[in-house]
Amino acid sequence: MVASWIECGFNWILNLVVDVCLQVYDVVFFSVGFVCYGVIQSMRKVIITVMSMLMFFAVHIRYLDIRRICGYADVENKIWGLDDNIILPLSGEEALDRLLNSRCNDAYGVLGLRADCSDEDIKRHYKKLAALLHPDKNILEGAEEAYEMVGTAFAAIGTVDARKSYNLTTLHKNKLHKDILDLWDRVRQRVEEARNFMYCDCGNRHARIVVDIKQSEARYCRKCRTRHPARSNDIWVETRLCGFVWMYFTCSDGIIYDITEWATCEVNYLKHMRSNSHTVQYRLVSPGASSMKSDSSINLQSKEKLRELVDMADELRADWEMVAGIIPSTKTLPATFFYRSPIIAGSAVIVLWCRSYEVGICSIGSVPLRTQEAFSISASNLLPNAFDGMLRNNCQLK
């Protein structure tokens, strides 16, 4: 008896010790795991912050003028004007690109003329460029500064006296010449900022950095273990440093840009994207282009559906006339069917035709509608069971 009690007590103590050890093990294991997870997340945030700072410095370091800081004097260019008079551009974008790509170191270069051009050429080029670059007609970035630069150039050489004074005065002492150079720098900087920054709903602009990646080998796929070509406006994400750093990229005009700063913004944070994916999950779409495309597609679909409705009505007219002859004309059960708004996926079009009743046309998912539209269908008991079930499943019956 005593031995059995001793054995029970020993078993109880042993079980107690084992339970306590297991509890301590669970607490230590989960505590260590939680601490490790927190350390990993903190390291990831630190790495992302450091990478963002490096990207910021890489974007803005090109604006650092070492020569100006050190006090070196620029070598004055003694060449006036262009080698040949340019062909006048036909659009504002073409005129702006010409100013950026040409040598606009003086008033003649801004207007696209030789230094020995005639006064008529100066007036003709000024009128054309001013009309194309006017801020009321040209909404491109840098157009306002370019228009001001063209006006300053014309003020320098627009008249005979002003042109003579501009030519006789040395370039480094001429105030208008310096104003033209400053305006040209402002135009280049404005256009570069517009091309290398992305606007965001947060109210700020985020930098996009050009990376040395070919468009034909842009997107890395973990499934295929290779790189797929990227199309314009595609957005994809790749991982770095064993998955700690996510890099977002996009393709525009055949150039690959790093848009990590824009994609990781709190407003645009693309947290549902899969890294190193085989397919493209997001694309950049221009609001204006998308709205025009959607409106044109809606109009085209509407015209196509009208043709389909007429054809189907002609085919089904005989069948519904036969059914209408069986039902008395005094028995009508009016019903109102409403479109679901908006409808995206198109599947079926049903035409109800009856000689002695109203004509009802129900288009289920055929054309995306922005407002609810209703129509009445009389004698709904004429519907066969199949069509009746389809209508009741896709429409709301009142």
Rounded to whole angstroms, how far apart are CA atoms 276 and 225?
9
Is 225 part of a structural domain of the chain? yes
Is 248 part of a structural domain of the chain? yes
Is 294 part of a structural domain of the chain? no
Is 121 part of a structural domain of the chain? yes
In this structure, are 224 and 193 located in the same domain? no
**Residues forming beta bridges with residue 374, ordered by sequence position:** 338
In this structure, are 134 and 175 located in the same domain? yes
The predicted-structure confidence for 135-151, as pLDDT tens digits, reads as follows 888 888 778 888 888 88
* Number of separate domains in the chain: 3
Return the pLDDT at 183: 73
| 249, 283, 317 - which closes a domain | 283
What is the CA angle 296-302-306, rounded to 5?
150
Is 288 part of a structural domain of the chain? no
Closest CA to 236 of 185, 190, 284, 167: 284
In this structure, are 182 and 109 located in the same domain? yes
In this structure, are 40 and 3 located in the same domain? yes
Return the pLDDT at 367: 36
**Residues forming beta bridges with residue 239, ordered by sequence position:** 246
The predicted-structure confidence for 336-366, as pLDDT tens digits, reads as follows 333 333 333 333 333 333 333 333 333 333 3
Say which range, 185-189, 232-236, 258-262, 304-308, has the weakest mean pLDDT.
Answer: 304-308
In this structure, are 111 and 172 located in the same domain? yes
| 160, 179, 197 - which closes a domain | 197
In this structure, are 170 and 220 located in the same domain? no
Q: What is the CATH number of the domain that holds 97?
A: 1.10.287.110
Is 299 part of a structural domain of the chain? no
47 falls in which pLDDT band (50, 70, 90)? very high
The predicted-structure confidence for 83-119, as pLDDT tens digits, reads as follows 778 888 888 888 888 777 766 677 888 888 888 888 8
Is 193 part of a structural domain of the chain? yes
Range of the domain at 251: 205-283
- SS3 call for 52: helix
Rounded to whole angstroms, how far apart are CA atoms 363 and 296?
19
The tally of CA atoms less than 13 A away on the side-chain side of residue 221 is 12
In this structure, are 192 and 236 located in the same domain? no
In this structure, are 105 and 8 located in the same domain? no
Peptide bond into 342 cis (omega under 30): yes
CB 120 within 8 A of CB 152: no
| 283, 317, 341 - which closes a domain | 283
In this structure, are 45 and 101 located in the same domain? no
Is 40 part of a structural domain of the chain? yes
